[in-house]
A = this chain, B = another copy of it.
């Protein structure tokens, strides 16, 4: 898979130049820019991490996200894992099944509320995260290397604002 040629007709600024030709009403250009780049950035990040950091452990982005959550919290319920990763509980069931087959986590029915399933990271899962995380974090550092410390904080703050706005409107 190749990324877009920076001189392509589909590069953001060229698209913005063509949009008025096909569209009638007034446009909020910076809103278009934000939307376009938010999704592209997310896809690039996922792709970069899967290629450079996760493939050698045979983990998908989603599987890593869930294992990461378990590493942080040791044990979590299915619905919590789903809410954190923005996927359905059905998808969590599948991913957990795969992780369980690799002995990276295990599931256990809650004793008080037998509808709940608690998922716990195994020793092997913890070892893998300890082995993997420094390299993964290095990837996080790489993607912001062009930004100053202040710019990094600004970017994170603005993204939180956007996310909060979307979550309110979607609920």
Where the two chains meet, the residues of A that have a C-beta atom closer than 8 Å to any C-beta of B are: 1-5, 8-10, 12, 15, 18-19, 22-25, 27-28, 30-35, 37-48, 51-52, 69, 71-73, 76, 79-80, 82-84, 86-88, 129-130, 133-134, 137, 139-147, 149, 151-156, 158-167, 169-171
B145→A165 contact, CB < 8 A = yes
Shortest Cβ distance from A148 into chain B, in angstroms?
10
B140→A165 contact, CB < 8 A = no
* Of listed A3, A73, A130, A153, residue having the most chain B CB within 10 A: A3
Q: A83 vs B40: C-alpha distance in the bound complex, in angstroms? A: 11
Question: Given the complex, which residues of B lie within 8 Å of A160, measured CB to CB?
Answer: 12, 37
Residue of B nearest to A40 (CB): B163
Residue of B nearest to A15 (CB): B72
Shortest Cβ distance from A1 into chain B, in angstroms?
5
B44→A163 contact, CB < 8 A = yes
A159 and B170 contact, Cβ closer than 8 Å, known pairs A43-B42, A44-B86, A73-B18: no
- Choose among B88, B133, B137, B159 the residue that contacts A1 (Cβ–Cβ < 8 A): B88
B35→A82 contact, CB < 8 A = no
Shortest Cβ distance from A162 into chain B, in angstroms?
6
